[in-house]
Amino acid sequence: MTRLTMEFPDFGLTPEQRRHAVRGHYYEWPGMDGERGEIWCYSDRFSYRAGETATLRVSSTAPAFKMAIVRDGGTETKVFEKSGIAALWQDSPDQCSVDGCGWEASFEFRVGDDWPSGAYRLTLTAEGRDGKPIHSHHLFIVSPQPGKKPGRVLQVAATGTWLAYNTWGGSNHYQGVTGPDRNQYSPIVSTQRPWCRGFVVLPKDAPRVPLEVAVQPKTVPRYPHMEWALATGHSKKYASSGWASYDSHFFRFAERAGYEVDLASQHDLHFSPEILDGYDCAVFVGHDEYWTWEMRDAVDNYVERGGHAARFAGNFMWQTRLEDEGRRQVCYKYRARAEDPAYRGDDVTRATNSWEAPEIGRPGSATFGLNATRGVYAGWGGCAPRGVRGFPVYRPEHWAFAGTGIYYGDLLGAESHVYGYEVDGLDFEIRGGLPYPTATSGAPDGLQVLAVGMASQVEESADIPIEDQFLTDHDGRFTAETLFGEASDANLEKVKRGNGMIVNFPRGKGEVFHAGSCEWVAGLLRQDPMIERVTRNVLDRYLGKA
């Protein structure tokens, strides 16, 4: 469980460095470690099946390295180890984060027939120029073989979001070294590059985004996760995405709790939607923001046919497109209406804008019951920094809360801070002390709102100058323009107050449960018994055990 402190942590940065940690653009790039030397690695694909050949592409200042591969689940199991693998330094193009590094293959190995589905962590170690070890980490997924999987859960890793936040090479969907002045985010990002530091492994004390500080009145916002990243040499976005911060915590919990869990990538879902067919329960967790049309089709069709989708995740926001057999992800985001070729083509529904853009015609709520544009920020910066740390519960009699002992008005998961940092919600109204989606909310038929908390799309405070804010009102004005055609003050007023929800609804022969918060996994990481019980209740019902 987490304990609030009265002061922000000190990572040894000067005020100027703290400001750069938040507002600056720093990233991993070939040559960044200078005279010490370095080693980097990526694989040709995000996932493989047992028996397939994995190809690694390595760039190293050392002539050889050793490598260990460990399955990262409820327990860690070493499956491969080899020393004396030859390496060489391979140059990368300036726009490698957009176009890919283009490195030659360095090593190939066969994925063992006896390697269970899951996440496999690679650790590469070589000798630096100063005689001290240099390391890099990589991760690939072993996807399940096709066929019926009674009693097993399929977890789908949020690889679209990993890719969107990966800072390696300088550009992602947030900041970048692209454009005429080398200062724009890139609408195109490549899978053919290493993962940034902090996406694969993290120390246990790495801060999460939601604040564990009792913020005093009129305090200028601080962002400890970004300060820690700069101070320790990790990616600025380590706490926003990746296996280490999010997906791993559910996978480890589920295996330790006795569930049999397989793992697939979102790219598997896109290209092989039949992967869902063998499972009674599919799970999506953490920060799960970027999806293709095809991925949504896969889930919608699966649930209609009788599948069960459990989403313990937040921020269902952007449509993406995959190109070059999945090696490029496209998302124009805020610049979509001005720049995305889909707006000049035959099918604007595939535009890489927010799912709630009217021209796309497919709000996120149609798949998972909730929309990112009605939720978003909670518990950090100037967005409800003193707000609720758990979900306020309205329908404690619901089957998901069985055995928790929770009451109407209680906070679920407050001790482990499961509410934040981005949440999904709906427009709703209170009748008789209970929340109901409004007629214009886009909620699926039969949706029940089980819990509702407050969120904000605007980092606002009369006491804090805008130059001291990180989030400001940028996202709120984008939502206002997306939904109502103009980013005016009047339209901002309509959208700036958001919420985060837990909802449940039937679809076709199947069912969906959605706890709309990125941080649900923090309750599993911190072993919150009530969060563990709700998670078990959902899995047991959807696996036919309840």
Nearest CA to 2 out of 542, 536, 519, 540 is that of 519
How many whole angstroms separate alpha carbon 47 and alpha carbon 45? 6
DSSP 6: S
Pick the CATH number of 280-317+354-543 from 1.20.58, 1.10.10, 1.20.120, 3.40.50: 3.40.50
Question: 248 is written with which tokens?
Answer: 């791993």
Q: Which segments of the chain belong to CATH 2.60.40.1930? A: 15-152+160-232
Q: Which segments of the chain belong to CATH 3.40.50? A: 280-317+354-543
Fold of 15-152+160-232: Immunoglobulin-like (2.60.40)
CA angle 479, 229, 327 (to 5 degrees): 60
Report the pLDDT value the prediction gives residue 471, as an integer from 0 to 100: 79
End-to-end CA distance of the chain: 28
Strands (E), 147-289: 152-157, 188-190, 260-265, 281-287
Nearest CA to 28 out of 106, 97, 114 is that of 97
Nearest CA to 24 out of 163, 209, 223 is that of 223
Q: Are the C-beta atoms of 504 and 310 separated by less than 8 Å?
A: no
Phi, psi dihedrals of residue 84, rounded to the nearest 5° = 70, 30
Report the pLDDT value the prediction gives residue 6, as an integer from 0 to 100: 85
Phi, psi dihedrals of residue 110, rounded to the nearest 5° = -95, 130
Per-residue pLDDT of the chain (546 residues; tens, 9 = 90+): 677 888 999 999 999 999 999 999 999 999 999 999 999 999 999 999 999 999 999 999 999 999 999 999 999 999 999 999 999 999 999 999 999 999 999 999 999 999 999 999 999 999 999 999 999 999 999 999 999 999 999 999 999 999 999 999 999 999 999 999 999 999 999 999 999 999 999 999 999 999 999 998 888 899 999 999 999 999 999 999 999 999 999 999 999 999 999 999 999 999 999 999 999 999 999 999 999 999 999 999 999 999 999 999 999 999 999 999 999 999 999 999 999 999 999 899 999 999 999 999 999 999 999 999 999 999 998 899 999 999 999 999 999 999 999 999 999 999 999 999 999 999 999 999 999 999 999 999 999 999 999 999 998 776 777 777 787 888 999 999 999 999 999 999 999 999 999 999 999 999 999 999 999 999 999 999 999 999 999 999 999 997
Q: Using one digit for the tens of pLDDT, what is the confidence trace for 433-452?
A: 999 999 999 999 999 999 99
Strands (E), 402-465: 411-412, 421-425, 428-431, 434-437, 448-456
